[in-house]
Amino acid sequence: MQDFIFYAPTKVVFGKAAQSQAGEIASRYGRRAMLVYGKGSVIRSGLLDEVKLSLEKAGVEYSLFGGAQPNPTLAHAEEGVKQAVEFGADLIIGIGGGSAIDTAKAIAHGTANPGTPLWNIWTRKAELTKSLPIGAVLTMPAAGSEMSDSAVLTNESIGKKSGLSTEFNRCKFALVNPSYGATLPKYQLAAGITDIMMHTMERYFIPDSHAELTDEIAEGLIRTVIRNGAEVIKNPENYDALAEIFWASSLSHNSLTECGRGKDFSVHKLGHALSAKYGATHGASLSAVWGSWAEYLYRDCPQRFSRFARKVWSIDEKDDIAASKKGIELTVGFFRSIGMPTSLKELGVEPDDSEITALALDATMKGTVKLSRIRPLDSEDIEKIFRLALK
């Protein structure tokens, strides 16, 4: 088992009335909160009004900042920083899914460092040494941003989507009411289910690692998501199934499933390149390439892929290669069964040779980094994976 540090400081309030505690909890961290949300669902559902009322009762002033996009943009976050500075915000609360929460994280960093360009913080050209406290009121299970140290922004001016991992991204609190999942379109739910699975799978397919308890947690989490994910797609009103998915979202990306093993996130790099160029939904960009990524690499890591097949899918096959292939097939089949694309064509994009080259260079930072801990993948390898995904 590798050495590790596990740090998960977020206070999670989970249940059907979690949002009612917004004011009491937020008041411990600030008195002037900016509320960051998307394009109106939190207004239509009445959630925003509930949060506002709770804050008012606790004596917390607030400023509203809507418009967070599915792939959060730098320009929108910069607008939020300007408004937060003018308002004198000392706390930023994201209300919605990962996009709203990631936007809130970016605004918190920019507001605490008003003289530093936000993209410089994001690309680590400027060291991040302080930020504002961040809270989350979660409405969608997917990104796990409510408990993770990660956030993603897209710089539209250069067509680059980039993630930032820092302890300053850790939310102080997360209020989680799974009931709001019933209001989501099924495609959004399916994309979220895919993202949850991928956050754990990106930490799972790592060779030469011994972390028995972490393996068991990861495998149980993925089985739970598969079982309950299929149920919520059929019946979004099933609160118990939704609750399992929401809790899996938080645990999948709070670093628990990497303890003793670490992480990879090479598939995310491919997905980010697709989202930046085509605006693809994040979960869909991952399902579109995962099968091709796995097909390209499973023979280099049959011990992990075969264990995944046996533990997650109950495959009764002694040969590691045969078991691996069956596990990949069933995983891709699950994505397809919940309405997710499993190829670039199904994603709605068919890049030509020059576009594939550009996507691969984006994923590998212009060819300067290699992806995957199974074996190093250069930009030519990534091109081959994208071409496999054209099928």
Query: What CATH superfamily classification does 185-388 receive?
Result: Dehydroquinate synthase-like - alpha domain (1.20.1090.10)
- In the predicted model, what is the mean pLDDT of residues 32-48? 93
Q: Give the architecture (CATH level 2) of 11-179.
A: 3-Layer(aba) Sandwich (3.40)
Alpha helices by DSSP H, listed for 33-125, are: 41-44, 47-57, 74-87, 98-112, 118-122
Q: Is the pLDDT of residue 269 over 90?
A: yes
Query: Residue 160's beta-bridge partner residues?
Result: 155
With the CA atoms of 75, 81, 83 and 88 taken in that order, what torsion angle do they form, in degrees rounded to the nearest 10? 180
Percent of the chain at pLDDT exceeding 70: 100
Q: Is-contact 36 94, C-beta < 8 A?
A: yes
Structure token digits, residue 118: 């936000």
Average pLDDT, the chain: 96
Percent of the chain at pLDDT exceeding 90: 96
- Which of 19-28, 33-42, 241-250, 319-328 has the lowest average pLDDT? 33-42
Q: Is-contact 191 283, C-beta < 8 A?
A: yes
* CA–CA dist 310, 125 (Å, integer): 44
* Predicted local confidence at residue 39, as pLDDT: 86
Which contiguous run of DSSP H or E holds residue 64? strand 61-65
Question: How many H-runs (helices) and E-runs (strands) does the chain carry?
Answer: 16, 8
* Predicted local confidence at residue 71, as pLDDT: 87
Structure token digits, residue 145: 């941003």
**Per-residue model confidence as pLDDT tens digits over 108-121:** 999 999 999 999 99
Read out DSSP for 292-361? HHHHHHGGG-HHHHHHHHHHHH----SSHHHHHHHHHHHHHHHHHHTT---SHHHHT----HHHHHHHHH
Residue 41's pLDDT band, with cuts at 50, 70 and 90, is confident
* Predicted local confidence at residue 391, as pLDDT: 82
Amino acid, res. 295: E
Which contiguous run of DSSP H or E holds residue 114? none
Q: Are strands 160-165 and 150-155 parallel, antiparallel or unpaired?
A: antiparallel
* Predicted local confidence at residue 329, as pLDDT: 98
Q: Is the pLDDT of residue 209 over 90?
A: no
pTM: 0.93
**Per-residue model confidence as pLDDT tens digits over 363-380:** 999 999 999 999 999 999
Q: Is-contact 210 50, C-beta < 8 A?
A: no
Q: Is the pLDDT of residue 40 over 90?
A: no
Distance of CA 113 to the CA centre of its chain: 25
Residue 320's pLDDT band, with cuts at 50, 70 and 90, is very high
* Predicted local confidence at residue 70, as pLDDT: 87
Structure token digits, residue 186: 């099924």
* Predicted local confidence at residue 138, as pLDDT: 97
Domain ranges of the chain: 11-179, 185-388
Q: Is the pLDDT of residue 354 over 90?
A: yes
Residues 6+ apart with CB under 8 A from 227: none
Q: Is-contact 306 327, C-beta < 8 A?
A: yes
